[in-house]
Chain A
Amino acid sequence: GAVVSQHPSWVICKSGTSVKIECRSLDFQATTMFWYRQFPKQSLMLMATSNEGSKATYEQGVEKDKFLINHASLTLSTLTVTSAHPEDSSFYICSARDSGYGTGGIEAFFGQGTRLTVV
Chain B
Amino acid sequence: LAKTTQPISMDSYEGQEVNITCSHNNIATNDYITWYQQFPSQGPRFIIQGYKTKVTNEVASLFIPADRKSSTLSLPRVSLSDTAVYYCLVVGAAGNKLTFGGGTRVLVKP
Interfacial residues, chain A to chain B (CB-CB below 8 A) = 4, 6, 31-32, 34, 36, 43-46, 49, 91, 93-95, 97, 99, 101-113, 115
Give Cα A54 to B103, complex, Å. Answer: 32
Q: Would B93 and A111 count as touching, CB distance under 8 A?
A: no
In-complex Cβ contact of B99 among A32, A46, A104 (8 A): A46
Chain B interface mostly helix, strand, loop or mixed?
A: loop
Q: Give the number of A-B contacts (CB < 8 Å).
A: 72
A91-B41 contact, Cβ under 8 Å, with A43-B101, A104-B91: yes
Q: Which residue of B lies closest to A49 (CB)?
A: B97
In-complex Cβ contact of A106 among B36, B41, B94, B100 (8 A): B94
A31-B45 contact, Cβ under 8 Å, with A43-B101, A105-B31, A105-B32: no
Interface residues on B, range: 20 to 34
Q: Would B92 and A95 count as touching, CB distance under 8 A?
A: no
Q: Which residue of A lies closest to B43 (CB)?
A: A110
21 A-B pairs with CB atoms under 8 Å apart are: A43-B103, A44-B87, A46-B99, A93-B43, A94-B43, A101-B94, A104-B32, A104-B96, A105-B32, A105-B34, A105-B49, A105-B92, A107-B34, A107-B46, A107-B49, A110-B45, A111-B43, A112-B42, A112-B43, A113-B42, A115-B41
